[in-house]
Each structure stands twice: as C-alpha cells, then as structure tokens.
Structure 1
Amino acid sequence: MTKSETSEKIERLIDANLNRLKEGIRVIEDINRYIYDDKSLTSSLKALRHKLQIAYNQNRLQYRDIENDVQKESISSELSRSSINDLMIANFSRAQESARVLEESFKLIDHTLSELCKEVRYGLYAVEKSFFMKQEKPKKKP
C-alpha cells in the first residue's frame, strides 16, 4: 500500500469513528434527557459532543465507503437489547472505544486532536460512572 493509500485509509478510519463516537454520545445524551430528565448529565454529554466539532473535516467524506464496508452487517448481539441499561452500556462502550481509536489515529496526523479525543474518552468515563452511580441509589418513597 502506498503512503497516499494509507493516508486515505486513515481518513476513512477517522471518519467512521468520529461518526460512531458522536452517535454513541447522542444516544446516551438523549436517554438522559428524555427518559431520566437529567439536565446535568445531558449538558455534560452535549458539551463532549460539541467539543468534537473541530475534528470534523468535510474532505473526509470522499473516503467514506459504505458499500464496501466489510463489517456493516449487524451481529445478533447488536440487535438484542433488553433494557435501557443495555442501551447505555452498549453506547458508552461504543463511544469510548471510538474515542480510543481516534486518539491513536490522530497521533499520526494531529497531536492536538489526539489529545482532544483522549479528553473526550476520559469525560465519557466520568459521565458513565455518574450515570450508573445514580441508578444504584435507592429511590425515596413518597
């Protein structure tokens, strides 16, 4: 593979993971907003999602190749969720894993964006802890 082909593949990798990261954050954000009415976590997630905007580059769209994606079909475990917590776990994992891929990929082309993705990843770890700690607290009886 030539250096140019490698660069194009890295741009494709970044494009896919930026989309995955932002989508995962949005699912978590909307569950906190519309199901749990949690203004604090919703605001934290929105801030993380908006931080990523500087990493987007429309030029990457030319490297997007949905038709030839060898893993675009869902596997059975991705199609089965039995609770809101299952959705949250899946999307926290999805977002954190994507942030890590981006952190590593951007090391090849932009160290500032690599650090941004690391910051977002750690922010997600903190929000995840807050979310699940709130879920474990016993509810007050009226």
Structure 2
Amino acid sequence: MNQIDNQNQSQAQIQAKTQAKTQAQNQTSDQDTGRSPQTQTIYRILDANLDRAREGLRVIEEWCRFGLEDRQLSAECKDLRQQLAQWHSAEIKAARNTPEDPGTNQSHAQEERRLNIESVLSANCSRIQEALRVLEEYSKLIDPQMAKSFKQTRYRAYTLETQINQVSQFNHAPPN
C-alpha cells in the first residue's frame, strides 16, 4: 500500500470516528453543564475562535508597538482584544476540551516558517478576520447582539490591516 492509500485510509477512519462521535453527542446531553451537545460544541467553537482572534491581535499589537512604534495602532489592537475578552465568559471557557481537540496536531508548511515581518502580519491579520467571521456566524445561534459585535469588530480588523500596511509601506520607503 502506498503513502496516498495510507492517507486516504486514515482520513476515512477519522471521518468514521467523527460521524460516530457526532451521532453519540446528538443522542445525549452534556451532564456537566446541562447544555445540549450542540450548544456545547458551539461554545467550544466560540472559545477556540475567541482565543485565535485575541492571539492574532496580540501578535499584531506587538509589531505596532515595538516595530512601528505607533501608539494609535497599538491602542486599536489592545482595544479590539479587550472588546473580544468581554465576550469570553467563564461559561464559554468551560466548554474548552483541548486534550480531545483533533485540530491541535494539525499544521501546514506555511505555519512552520515565516519569511519576513510582512508574512507574520499577513498571516495574523487573516487569522483574526477568519476567527471573527466564525465567531459572527456561530454566535448568531446563541446571542444576536454578540454576532453584531463580532461583525463590527471584523470590519475594524479589516481597517486595522489597511492602516498597518499603509504605515509599514511608509516606514519602509527608500530614502530620498
């Protein structure tokens, strides 16, 4: 059996396990929280993406602070992080189950190495924006106000990326 067949077989096994787990979750409720398995899963998604967005913002904030020495951009990053933190309730954090998260061992070659500061910033801006979209969509199932907040935060993240790119290009312009 070649490597591709092994990968296909492994993927089929993972899909079968995932389907079995989903069926089992849909049949019983989470006894610890009293929430339905579906709600528990949504809380896990919210938790993971709140962490992801906040971590990405912190990476960007550090560059704005130390690389660009830009107080305004640094403050915007911090404000966005703190705004997200307000939604990261103990109830959402309690849904975390890192040991059983199948995504913790996944990686991609582009994640293993960054070529320059621009690639670090680009990857983290994308991470923030993608996480905010996930937060917006899944929070619609829990709290429409939360969804509206994440939507507005996502637009602010787009603006932040544009501003950082403008300042970075200005700072890296060749001398006259």
TM-score of the superposition, structure 1-length normalised?
0.92
Q: Which residue of 1 aligns with 2:141?
A: 108
Q: Which residue of 1 aligns with 2:80?
A: 48
How many Å separate the matches in 2 of 1:116 and 1:61? 19
How many Å separate the matches in 1 of 2:123 and 2:100? 25
1:64 equivalenced with 2:111 (yes/no): no
Q: Which residue of 1 aligns with 2:163?
A: 130
State the structure with bigger RCO (CA 8 A, min sep 6), 1 or 2.
Answer: 1
Q: Which residue of 1 aligns with 2:114?
A: 81
1:98 equivalenced with 2:131 (yes/no): yes
Letter in 1 for 2:82: H
Q: Which residue of 1 aligns with 2:42?
A: 10
1:121 equivalenced with 2:159 (yes/no): no
Deviations 1:75-118 (A, max 9, x none): 22111101111110000000000000000011001011101111
Size of the aligned set, in residue pairs, is: 141
Identity of aligned residues (%): 33
Matches within 5 A, 1:7-46: 7-46=39-78
How many Å separate the matches in 1 of 2:151 and 2:175? 37
How many Å separate the matches in 2 of 1:44 and 1:140? 29
How many Å separate the matches in 2 of 1:84 and 1:99? 22
- 8 Å CA contact 2:52, 2:128 repeated in 1: yes
RMSD: 1.4
Query: Cα distance, 1:53 vs. partner?
Result: 2.3
Query: Cα distance, 1:140 vs. partner?
Result: 4.8
Secondary structure of the structure 2 residue equivalent to 1:41 = helix
Q: Which runs of 5+ in 1 are unaligned?
A: none
Deviations 1:36-91 (A, max 9, x none): 11111111111111111221111223321111111112222111101111110000
How many Å separate the matches in 2 of 1:66 and 1:6? 17
How many Å separate the matches in 1 of 2:120 and 2:75? 19
Give the structure with higher Rg (CA): 2
